[in-house]
Structure formats: C-alpha cells, structure tokens
Amino acid sequence: MASLQDQLLKAGLINKNKANKAKKEKQKQAKAGRGGAKTTDETGLAAQQEQARKVERDRELNRQKQARSNQKAMMAQIKQLIDLNRVDREGGDVNYSFVHNDKVKKIFVTPLLQNQLGTGRLAIVTFPRNGDDSYELVPAVIAEKIAQRDQNSVVQLNQVSETEIDEDDPYADYQIPDDLMW
C-alpha cells in the first residue's frame, strides 16, 4: 500500500522537494514530542516567572509615578492656598525677624500685622519660587491647612494662648461680661 505522499507524487500534485520538506517537518515534530515535554514545561515556567517579574516592576514604576503625581498635586494646592490667601504687607515699615533653616530672616510689615503675627492670627509661610524662598503672610487657619499638606512650608505659626488666670486672684470667680461698657 502506498503512502499518501507517494500517491500525491504520482498524481503530480506535489513535487519531490515539497515531499521531503514535509517529511523532515514530521520527523522534527516527532522528535520534539518525545523529549520536548520537559523543555516546554521549563520554558513555560521561565516565561511565567519573567511575566511575574515584569508585572511587579510595572507596579513599582506605577507606584513611583503616582507618588510623584501626588507630590506635584500637593505642591500645587499649597501654592494656590498661598496665592489666594496671602495678606498684603505693602507699606510695611516695621522689621519683623524670624528664624528659618537656622538663619534669621527679616520681612517688613505694618504694626497691625506685627501684632497679628505675635498673637498667632497670622503665620509666615514659604513656597520656593525660582530657587529662592519667598515669604508670605497668611491667616492661621490657612497655615494649618498648609501644614497638613507640608510641614516645611509653614515657617512660623505662633500658638494663641488663652489668658492665664492667677490662682491667687480674688476676682477669678467673677467673669467679665463681653458687652460691658466702661
């Protein structure tokens, strides 16, 4: 009985070269089937491990990218808070000194602003612009919001202290009404 290949050759549907090529291909597949089971498992396992490493590396890169994006967004929020809420200190003739990065810095403010800085109603904040620190005055509430985002942006925020009552004060039990007129 003649093989299918021989029958196709006699019929003239294929030539001798195509028949030899098909025969070699069949032998390669048979050889790979006998000893190739281990190699396919090993290559499949190596491919899975490589894929897992790639996925982990991509996750790490995405996490870093997200952290940079969050940092940029936070800095933009701080800049916007400062720009929208800064107190104009134009016309200030009083020198106000404060410490920032172990250096004494000075800004000029009005006497009213100096009083508000001392009582804790205003705060000094900074936002680096063009490589140089610029100092602005903002209300204490805004400075607390800025401090939630970045502690280093708030340079000085004095705490408002309640008036302390002396224990020996004989009038300590008598509160002064808010609407008292003298």
- DSSP notation for 99-151: EETTEEEEEEE-HHHHHHHHHTSEEEEEEEETTEEEEEEEEHHHHHHHHHH-G
Asked, for residue 31, whether it belongs to a domain, the answer is no
Asked, for residue 130, whether it belongs to a domain, the answer is yes
Structural domain boundaries enclosing 83:
42-162
Asked, for residue 63, whether it belongs to a domain, the answer is yes
How many folded domains does the chain comprise? 1
Q: Per residue in 12-54, pLDDT tens?
A: 778 888 888 888 888 888 877 666 555 567 788 888 888 999 9
Q: Per residue in 91-112, pLDDT tens?
A: 778 888 888 788 888 888 888 8
| pLDDT at residue 54 in the model | 92
Asked, for residue 138, whether it belongs to a domain, the answer is yes
| pLDDT at residue 106 in the model | 84
Asked, for residue 74, whether it belongs to a domain, the answer is yes
Q: Per residue in 55-73, pLDDT tens?
A: 999 999 999 999 999 989 8
Q: For 109-117, which contacts have Cβ atoms below 8 Å and span 24 or more sequence positions?
A: 109/137, 113/87, 113/89, 113/137, 117/156, 117/158
Asked, for residue 170, whether it belongs to a domain, the answer is no
Distance from C-alpha of 154 to C-alpha of 141, rounded to nearest angstrom? 12
Asked, for residue 35, whether it belongs to a domain, the answer is no
Asked, for residue 22, whether it belongs to a domain, the answer is no
Highest mean pLDDT pick, 138-147, 157-166, 171-180 = 138-147
